[in-house]
Amino acid sequence: MASKSFYAVIAGVGAGTGRSVALRFARSYPVVLLARKPESYNDIVSEIKKQGGEAIGISADTSDPQSVSSAFEAIKKELPDKKLAAAIYNVGAGFAVKPFLELTPSDLNTSLASNAGGLFNFAQATLPSLLDSVPSSPFPPSLIITGATASVRGSPRFATFAAGKFAARALSQSLAREFGPKGVHVAHVIVDGVIDIPRTKEYRVNDGVEDGKISPDAIAESYWHLHTQHRSSFTHELDLRPYVEKF
């Protein structure tokens, strides 16, 4: 169904959602992985290659417009003949959990820069290419953004994190309304729960019940479904949470 003339790019890869999304999309496209440090993507690149897929990793700080530009110039050199089918923004920094009066302007700026600024830079770099792919892409060219509970709910101790996530959701909505009618599918996913990754192994959530943490592979399946939706039936927003999660 998909095509080797197209590629997908995933910003924000590590042990969780980013890795699973990369593996899932690599079943149909060469994938480009962006992360600040090579150690975040090196293993995933190897894993994809081992499974017969194509992958390259590029170091980039999405919160820096210059760094994003350089990364996309590098992509152009590495994949000169390929068009962009899907861009996934999965960067999740700026997670400071503190009472409001202990937070600093720097906590706020880190969250805004990584969640909103990074998405802004990534969207500006990818949307022209996604628009360019509209007539030929096997599925509607897609920009998919990873959100969180904090995208729709400001909580005590999460004030600055929520600020960044709300701002990213504002961008997502604005982009969906502007670029949807041009054929680009912009979707925002509210991941509402703890993701089951090595770092959260010890977390006891939902009373430790089986499947009480979100499988990142399951998230990736929903991202792939979003990408393959027919343009007459785009989803802009969906939530994902473990069956046992309170909401």
Site for a second copy in 220-239 (CB under 8 A): 221-222, 225, 228-239
Binding to a second copy, residues 43-62 (CB under 8 A): none
In angstroms, the CA 170 to CA 189 distance is 13
In angstroms, the CA 121 to CA 141 distance is 18
Closest distance of CB 51 from a second copy, Å? 21
Query: Is 208 near a second copy (CB under 8 A)?
Result: no
Residue placing its CB nearer to a second copy in the complex, 33 or 189: 189
- Rg (alpha carbons) of the chain, rounded to whole number: 17
Query: Is 86 near a second copy (CB under 8 A)?
Result: no
Query: Is 199 near a second copy (CB under 8 A)?
Result: no
| Residue from 110, 86, 108, 77 nearest 7 by CA | 86
Binding mask 14-43 for a second copy (x = CB under 8 A): ------------------------------
From edge to edge, which strands make up the β-sheet containing 31-35?
55-59, 31-35, 6-11, 83-89, 142-148, 185-191
Question: Taking each helix axis from N to C terminus, what angle separates 65-78 and 118-133, rounded to the nearest 10 degrees?
Answer: 30
User: What are the φ/ψ torsions at residue 88 (nearest 5 degrees)?
Assistant: -115, 125
Closest distance of CB 83 from a second copy, Å? 18
Beta-bridge mates of residue 35: 59
Residue placing its CB nearer to a second copy in the complex, 22 or 68: 68
Binding to a second copy, residues 149-178 (CB under 8 A): 150, 153-160, 162-178
Contacts of 43 (CB under 8 A, 6+ apart): none
| Contact residue for a second copy among 70, 180, 200, 203 (CB under 8 A) | 180
Binding mask 109-148 for a second copy (x = CB under 8 A): x--x---xx--xx-xx--xx-----------x--------
| Contact residue for a second copy among 26, 65, 145, 202 (CB under 8 A) | 65
Residue placing its CB nearer to a second copy in the complex, 45 or 84: 84
In angstroms, the CA 207 to CA 200 distance is 14
Closest distance of CB 58 from a second copy, Å? 20
